[in-house]
Structure formats: structure tokens, C-alpha cells
Amino acid sequence: MQMGLDFNLVEDLVAGVDEVGRGPLCGAVVTAAVILDPNRPILGLNDSKKLTEARRELLFEEICEKALSWCIARAEVEEIDRLNILHATMLAMQRAVEGLSVTPKLALIDGNRCPKLAVPSAPVIKGDSQVPAIAAASILAKVSRDREMAAFELIYPGYGIGGHKGYPTAVHLEALSRLGPTPIHRRSFGPVRAAYEAREQLDSGFTLA
């Protein structure tokens, strides 16, 4: 049984920041920033990947209710293709911190680098399994993006997006090859670019030898 992080580690006016969706072939990269309230404990916070979907959903609602401030932000597919995934992720993190209704005295960023922020910041490698505020941010970002992927499953059936969440699984790659890319696919990612090129060749009347 996963016990979660010690809420006593929560520091006053420290924001945790995390992202979800750097690796998928489609959809936005989603980030969240959370400032937890030291006086309103949330039990069971942990890296979102270590929690069940049902537990994440419950914690999502509790975080939104109890946190001093929280913001979910994103960078769209067009921004990912224009900037590259790293810079788009940094932009989305910047938007999340800027969207907080309370200004943090410090932003702790999951990973090994920080976006440009107007407040002091520090990276924390594997922060989502060490810092409660980062864990909370990882939960908000993942639940938000997973819900969006479930909605896209209905708009773009046949790709299995609701299951693999856009990641390059065998099912996704096969569907991409068979059906071609959708408007939410990231053109700058290799498998998607290859699918676009194959579709353009078919549309031009050429076939591969």
C-alpha cells in the first residue's frame, strides 16, 4: 500500500510545479502549479504515476479544495511544433506559476531545469516523489490531461487515445500508420512526421516501392 508523502514537509508559500505529456505524439503538454496550505493536510499525496486513477481523481478534488492556490496551464500542439517540446514545457510551467492567485516565495520545479520566472525557483529531480507540493501539481496535471485524452477518444475514434493517452504504443503507432494523423498530432515528432509524409505521397498518387 502506498502511504504517500509526509505533509509535514509542506513549506509556507512554496509552489510545486510539474508537467504531464512531454512524451506523447498528440495533445497539449499540461502543467500545474500548487501552493499547499500547511494548515489543511492532504493525506496520500504522491507522484501521480504511483497512484491509481480513482485515487488521483479523489485527490484532484481535495487539492483544488484545500490548496492555498493552484493553476493548471498548457502549451498547445502548435506551440510544441514551433518551439520544440522542451521550450513548450517551460512556457507551460511559466504560465502555471504566473496563473497562481497567490505569489509564492519559491517555486520548486520537477526535473533538472527551471523556466524563467519572476519568483525564485529551484529544480528538484524526482520531485514528484519527494515534495508534497510537486506531487500535488503532478496529480492536477495528469488528471486534467487524462480527462482531455478521454474526450479526444470520442472525437478521434480508432486511435485508442483514451487508453494510451497519446504515448507511442504499438496500438497508437499502428493506428497512426493506418488512419493517418489527426489535427491534435504533433507534426514535429518523428512517427507523426513520417505519417504525414506517407499520406502526402498517397495523396500525390505515389506509393512506396
**Model confidence pLDDT, tens digit, residues 146-192:** 999 999 999 999 999 999 999 999 999 999 999 999 999 999 999 99
Q: What is the full DSSP assignment across the chain? A: ------GGG--TTEEEEEEE-SS-SBS-EEEEEEE--TTS--TT---GGGS-HHHHHHHHHHHHHH-SEEEEEEE-HHHHHHH-HHHHHHHHHHHHHHT-SS--SEEEEESS-----SS-EEEETTGGGT-HHHHHHHHHHHHHHHHHHHHHHHHSTTS-HHHHTT---HHHHHHHHHH---TTB-TTSHHHHHHHHHHHHHHTT----
Domain ranges, residue 186: 161-203
Does residue 23 lie in a domain region? yes
Same domain, 174 and 99: no
Looking at the structure of the chain, the number of domains it has is 2
Closest CA to 67 of 144, 143, 140: 140
Banded model confidence at residue 45, pLDDT cuts 50, 70, 90: very high
Same domain, 29 and 111: yes
Does residue 75 lie in a domain region? yes
Q: How far apart are the first and last CA of the chain?
A: 54
Reported as a single tens digit per residue, the pLDDT across 104-137 is 999 999 999 999 999 999 999 999 999 999 999 9
> Residue 204: pLDDT above 90?
no
Contact 28/145 with Cβ under 8 angstroms?
A: yes
Does residue 110 lie in a domain region? yes
Same domain, 172 and 117: no
Same domain, 137 and 173: no
Does residue 107 lie in a domain region? yes
Same domain, 11 and 50: yes
Does residue 177 lie in a domain region? yes
Contact 64/37 with Cβ under 8 angstroms?
A: no
Does residue 209 lie in a domain region? no
Reported as a single tens digit per residue, the pLDDT across 11-25 is 899 999 999 999 999
The cell numbers describing 149, all together, are 485524452
Same domain, 119 and 70: yes
Does residue 34 lie in a domain region? yes
The cell numbers describing 196, all together, are 504525414
Same domain, 178 and 199: yes
Per the DSSP assignment, residues forming a β-bridge with 123 are 109
Same domain, 127 and 169: no
